[in-house]
Amino acid sequence: MNVHELIDAGAIFFCSHSGGKDSQAMYAYLRTIVPDHQIVVVHADLGEVEWQGVQDHIWSTVTHGVNVVRANKTLLGMVEQRGMWPSAAYRQCTSDLKRGPIMKFIRQYLKDRGLKLGVNCMGIRAEESAARAKKEPYRYNKAESCGHRDVWDWMPIFDWSTRQVFDYIRAVGQEPFWAYADGNERLSCVFCIMGSVNDLRHGAICNPELYRQYVELERKIGHTMFMKGKEPISLEEHTGIRLEDLERG
């Protein structure tokens, strides 16, 4: 089934909303093609590592309710227990804190209402990275489908450019989350393992207490978030911001 056939069949379109620019643009776009009663907004709460105010921003830019889901663990707790940070190859943060809780919500939502068709909508774009450019923007999710449930994964703005995203947000009369205007290039965890040095530095300046927790956890477990070539590099070295200097203001 294609997207239009799923709309006609009454499928529920679950809009995964992080509060970032891509989620915001995707939601606004979905409303132009999917009936409102077939859209459900879901946000995976990342707890202390999430930008403060991001959930308020989501609420202020959607006309639907926001279903907030949470894992029964935290990122920093997982890191301390495992003794290692996630990596690009092993993104436990994404699987355990985002995808897992969202897919559990989708399964339960469909089951509780006796519905069969669901579409997991994600604001992933090809322009973001070479790895993302290789993804299938629309596919049948065999792992989440079964005899009484059919689930598709869809990336509605997969081919959009960054400029298109920002332009679309403003075209619908909204503004993106404040951190973009203040310097961020992308929005995820405050200190994302995939984040640019620019975003990590901005995160440290805006969130010094959280930065301290990350730096101290690196020291405690003896494992760093980043590498410089083949050598580990501390978060302080990577950002160029020493914890002591930040705390002195």
What is the pLDDT of the chain when averaged over all its residues?
94
pLDDT in tens, 206-244: 999 999 999 999 999 999 999 998 899 999 999 999 988
What's the half-sphere exposure (Cβ side, CA atoms, 13 Å) at 221? 19
Domain hosting 116: range is: 3-163
What per-residue confidence (pLDDT) applies to 238?
96
pLDDT score at 202: 95
Name the burial class of residue 106, with classes exposed (0-12), middle (13-18) and buried (19+) by CB atoms within 10 angstroms of its CB. Answer: buried
**pLDDT band for position 159 (cuts 50, 70, 90):** very high
For residue 188, being part of any structural domain is answered with no
Q: pLDDT by residue (tens digit) across 160-213? A: 999 999 999 999 999 999 999 988 999 989 999 989 999 999 999 999 999 999
Q: What is the CATH number of the domain that holds 68?
A: 3.40.50.620
- Say yes or no to pLDDT of 133 above 90: yes
Q: According to the model, what pLDDT value does residue 249 have?
A: 62
For residue 238 the two structure tokens come to 């990577």
In a domain? residue 122 = yes
Whether 80 maps to a domain, the answer reads: yes
Percent of the chain scoring above 70 in pLDDT: 99
pLDDT digits (tens, 9 = 90+) for 64-89: 999 999 999 999 999 999 999 998 77
Question: Has residue 235 been placed in a domain?
Answer: no
Give the distance, in angstroms, between the CA of residue 15 and the centroid of all CA atoms in the same chain: 11
Q: What is the pTM for the complete model shown?
A: 0.94
Q: Where are the alpha helices (DSSP H) in 113-182?
A: 130-133, 162-171, 178-181
- The Cα–Cα gap between 34 and 156 comes to 12
Phi and psi (nearest 5°) for 28?
A: -60, -40
Q: Return d(Cα 110, Cα 117) in angstroms, integer.
A: 8
Distances (CA, A) of 15 to 77, 209, 211: 27, 32, 30
Give CA angle at 155 (153, 157), nearest 5°.
Answer: 165
Number of domains into which the chain is organized: 1
Is residue 107 situated within a structural domain? Answer: yes
